[in-house]
Amino acid sequence: MACAPRCAGHSARPVQQVCRVSILEDRKPKSARGVGVMKPCCFWMTGLSGAGKTTLAHAMRERVNADGVVRLVVLDGDEVRASLCKDLGFSAADRQENSRRLAAMARLLVDAGLVVVVSAISPYRAARESARSAFVEGTFWEVHVATPLQTCMARDVKGLYRKAREGSLGNLTGVGADYEEPLTPDIRVLGEGDIHEAVSLLLDKLGLDLN
């Protein structure tokens, strides 16, 4: 996966270019940093359906858990919707509530000493910032998996874009409903690049070298 350019017109934090992933200013307090030291935290992956969020999240879990360095868990948006959030629809209010519940679950797991990767479209900036506010400073990383809509439509793993074209799905994010891209994410990854490189660079934020 490759790094994406900053959004034009936004003079936010300075950008640190690391290989092909763009990592914005490190929000982790200096006291929490340290080579080889892992701190429980949440990676919140946002992007369109088919962007590669879940694939990247599972690749991180396999890398970390296989090496026995730290236990990492994935909260998949679809799985959570089918269980703890099955009472919610896809209105703006329900999408915001879905993000709130995901953040609450992720915070509990982080407090239990785990690294948590949330994989969810979470289309609204305000909801993502609200999710950030649920965490202690320096334990939340917003990761924008920035894959072009046309690429997501070509992949269409779940058949959602086909349904949208056929008119049977009218509120698909990016097609029939808005997706508000992060303006200054902590990490931006282009989902068309090398997934192994992206995983390594994400884990580097934890001070882990599992190569």
How far is the CA of 157 from the CAs of 25, 36, 54, 79, 154, in angstroms?
34, 37, 12, 16, 9
Length of the chain: 211
Whether residue 172 is contained in a domain is answered as: yes
What CATH number has the domain bearing residue 66?
3.40.50.300
- 75-109 residue pLDDT tens: 999 899 899 898 988 888 999 999 999 999 999 99
For the question of residue 122 being annotated catalytic, the response is yes
- 134-191 residue pLDDT tens: 999 999 999 999 999 999 889 988 888 888 888 877 778 878 788 999 999 999 998 7
Q: Which of the following is catalytic: 122, 130, 133, 200?
A: 122
Whether residue 190 is contained in a domain is answered as: yes
Whether residue 98 is contained in a domain is answered as: yes
**Euclidean distance between CA atoms 205 and 95, whole angstroms:** 29
Whether residue 141 is contained in a domain is answered as: yes
| Residue 70 binned pLDDT confidence (cut-offs 50, 70, 90) | low
Whether residue 5 is contained in a domain is answered as: no
Whether residue 152 is contained in a domain is answered as: yes
Whether residue 197 is contained in a domain is answered as: yes
List residues bridging with 100 in a β-sheet. none
| Residue 8 binned pLDDT confidence (cut-offs 50, 70, 90) | very low
Please tell me the total count of domains within the chain.
1
Task: Write out the H or E segment, with its range, that includes residue 11.
Answer: none
- Is the pTM higher than 0.85? no
Domain of residue 117: give its range: 15-24+35-204
Whether residue 8 is contained in a domain is answered as: no
Both structure tokens of 55? 């694939």
